[in-house]
C-alpha cells in the first residue's frame, strides 16, 4: 500500500512539473459525453451540460499555463437541434450563466471571446450575452476562446464558397486567384492559426462535422474520459501523446 501511494505521489509531482516541449498554438475540443456522465450518476442529462460549463475555465486555465494561445470548443452543432427542446434550452441557459459569471475573469486574463457559427438561430437572450462578451473582449490579445455555436464544418465551407462566388460575380476576385489562403480568409476562423491538436472526450472516434478545414493536419486524440471529468491531468496526458507524434505535414519522417 505504501508503494502504491509513493508511486501516485511521484506521478502527481511529475504532472505538476510537466513542461510542454513542442509549440501548440491551437487546441480544439469536442466536449463529448456530458449526457452520459449525468446518466451514469442517475442525474438528468442537462446537468451534464451544466457540469460541462464548469470545466471550461479549468481547461482554459490549464491551456494558458502551457502557453496555448487559442482553444476552440464545440458547444452546439448544426445537428444538435435534433435533441429534445428542453435539453437545448438548458444548454443555452448554462452558456449564458457561464459568460455572466466568468466574463470578468476572461477580461482579467486577456482572453478574447469569439464565436464560430450562425448564431442568428439562437435564443435572443443567448445572442445578446454572446455579443456582450465579444464586445467586452474584442481588444484582448493574450488568448482566444473560440466557441463553436450552431456550427457545422460542411456548412462553413459552403458559406465560404458562397462568399467567394459573390465576390467573383462582383469582380472583386478573379477565379484564377482563388487558393487555400483565399478560402481560409472566408471562414469563421480566418484570423486563427490552424488546429494543432484536436481532442474529443468520451472515447468516440469521429469529427462530427467539426472544423473540417482547420483540422487538415491536426493530431487527433480521443481520451475515454467524459468532458465533465476532463481536467488538467487529462489534458497533460493528451499533450504528452501529442509530443510523441511526428508531425510530417505530408513530408518524410525525421529520423
Give 151-154 contacts, CB < 8 A, sequence gap 24+.
151/74, 151/76, 151/77, 151/78, 151/116, 151/117, 151/118, 151/188, 151/210, 152/77, 152/78, 152/79, 152/117, 152/209, 153/207, 153/209, 153/210, 153/211, 153/212, 153/213, 154/209, 154/212
Look up 32 and say whether it is catalytic.
yes
Q: What is the layout of strands, in order, in the sheet containing 70-77?
A: 111-116, 143-151, 70-77, 26-30, 197-200, 219-221
Contact 199/29 with Cβ under 8 angstroms? yes
User: In terms of residues, how long is the chain?
Assistant: 255
Active-site option among 58, 61, 80, 196: 80
Please tell me whether residue 180 adopts helix, strand or coil conformation: helix
Look up 34 and say whether it is catalytic.
no
Active site residues: 32, 80
Amino acid at each position: 500500500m505504501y508503494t502504491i501511494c509513493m508511486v501516485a505521489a511521484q506521478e502527481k509531482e511529475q504532472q505538476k512539473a510537466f513542461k510542454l516541449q513542442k509549440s501548440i498554438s491551437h487546441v480544439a475540443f469536442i466536449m463529448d459525453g456530458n449526457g452520459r456522465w449525468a446518466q451514469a450518476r442517475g442525474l438528468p442529462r442537462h446537468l451534464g451540460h451544466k457540469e460541462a460549463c464548469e470545466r471550461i475555465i479549468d481547461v482554459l486555465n490549464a491551456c494558458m499555463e502551457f502557453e496555448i494561445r487559442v482553444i476552440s470548443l464545440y458547444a452546439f452543432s448544426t445537428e444538435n437541434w435534433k435533441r429534445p427542446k428542453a435539453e437545448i434550452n438548458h444548454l443555452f441557459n448554462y452558456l449564458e450563466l457561464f459568460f455572466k459569471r466568468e466574463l470578468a475573469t476572461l477580461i482579467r486574463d486577456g482572453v478574447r471571446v469569439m464565436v464560430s457559427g450562425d448564431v442568428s438561430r439562437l435564443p435572443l437572450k443567448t445572442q445578446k450575452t454572446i455579443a456582450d462578451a465579444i464586445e467586452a473582449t474584442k481588444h484582448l490579445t493574450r488568448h482566444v476562446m473560440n466557441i463553436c455555436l450552431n456550427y457545422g464544418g460542411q456548412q462553413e465551407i459552403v458559406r465560404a464558397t458562397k462568399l467567394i462566388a459573390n465576390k467573383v460575380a462582383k469582380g472583386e476576385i478573379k477565379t484564377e486567384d482563388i487558393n487555400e489562403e483565399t478560402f481560409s480568409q472566408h471562414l469563421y476562423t480566418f484570423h486563427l492559426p490552424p488546429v494543432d491538436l484536436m481532442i474529443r472526450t468520451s472515447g468516440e472516434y469521429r469529427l462530427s462535422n467539426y472544423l473540417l478545414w482547420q483540422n487538415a493536419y491536426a493530431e487527433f486524440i480521443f481520451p475515454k474520459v467524459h468532458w465533465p471529468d476532463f481536467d488538467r491531468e487529462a489534458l497533460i496526458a493528451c499533450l504528452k501523446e501529442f509530443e510523441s507524434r511526428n508531425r510530417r505535414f505530408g513530408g518524410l519522417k525525421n529520423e
